[in-house]
Amino acid sequence: MSREIELPVEDTQSGGQPVRTATVGLSGRSLKIVAPLSALFALDSFAGSLVTGTLLAYYFQQRFAVSTSFLGGLLFTANIISGASSLSSGWIASRVGLINTMVFTHLPSNVLTMLIPLMPSLESATAMVFLRYSISQMDVAPRQSFLAGIVSKSERTATMGIVNVVKSLSNSLGPLATGYLAGSNNWQISFFLCGGLKIVYDILLLFSFSHIKPDVEAVQHISQVSSEDMETPLIGSQGDLERVTVTNVAS
C-alpha cells in the first residue's frame, strides 16, 4: 500500500529547470504554505504579547501588592522551568510529530493562562504561572523544525525572515491593548484574550497543517515503511545469503 509523503519543494523542476521564485525569495508553491502559516504565527504572537513577562509582573504587583524581589524570583523561576521543559520537546516530537507537539503542549498552557486571573490567592496564581511556563515554550523548537522542513534549503533563510518580521510586527501590538485594559481595570480580559486567541491558533494549525510532512518526519516515515517492504536476497562473495531492504516509496 502506498503512503503519501509531502517533502519540501525542490530547487529544480522535473525537467531540470529551476523553480521560479517570487519577489520575497520563495517559489509560488512554498509561498502558498508559508503565507497562511505566517498569518497563524502572527495571531499567536499578538496573543502572546497581551501577557508578556513584564506585564505579568505588573499584574502581580497591582493585584497582590508583592515586592519587587518576589517579582524577580517569580520571573526567574518561571524562565528556568520554561527552559528546562523545552529540552523534552524533541523527544516528544520524534514520537507524536511536530504539529502534534506544537498543538498539544500549547493548548493546556493557554487554558492555564486563562486561569491565572481567576486564582483567589497569591500562592494559587503563582502555581498557575509555573504550570503554564512548564509547557508554554515546548512548541518553539518543533516550530522551527517544521518551518525549515517544509521549504527547500535555498528558501529557508527567506522563510525565517518573513516569519520573524510578521511575528515582530504582531508582537508590538499586544502591549497597547493590555495597557488600555489595565487602565480601565480590566486586567482579566487580557488573560482571557491571550489564552482564547492562542487556542484558536492551535486549532487552526492542527486542522490546516497536520497533513503536511516536513523532511524530518518524511525520513522517519520512510524508515518505518522500509521495515514493511519486501526483502530481496543477494548472494555474497562467500556464498552466504545476505538480505537488503528494498524500499519503494510512491512519488
* 85-132 pLDDT, tens digit each: 888 888 898 889 999 999 999 999 999 999 999 999 999 999 999 999
User: Sorting pLDDT into bands at 50, 70 and 90, what band is 170?
Assistant: very high
Distance CA 28, CA 48 (A): 30
Q: Pick the residue with more confidence: 196 or 20?
A: 196
Is the pLDDT at 147 greater than 70, yes or no? yes
Domains of the chain: 28-245 (1.20.1250.20)
| Mean pLDDT of the residues in the chain | 80
- Grid cell 522500509 is found at 226
pTM over 0.75: yes
Helix, strand counts (H, E) of the chain: 11, 2
Residues whose CB is less than 8 angstroms from the CB of residue 197 and which lie 6 or more positions away in sequence, other chains included: 43, 44, 46, 47, 50
% of the chain at pLDDT higher than 70: 76
Distances (CA, A) of 99 to 87, 156, 237: 17, 18, 47
User: Sorting pLDDT into bands at 50, 70 and 90, what band is 200?
Assistant: very high
Mean pLDDT for 217-226 is 42
| CA geometry: angle 10, 16, 19, nearest 5 deg | 45
Mean pLDDT for 74-92 is 92
Is the pLDDT at 233 greater than 50, yes or no? no
> Which residues on neighbouring strands pair with residue 234, listed in sequence order?
242
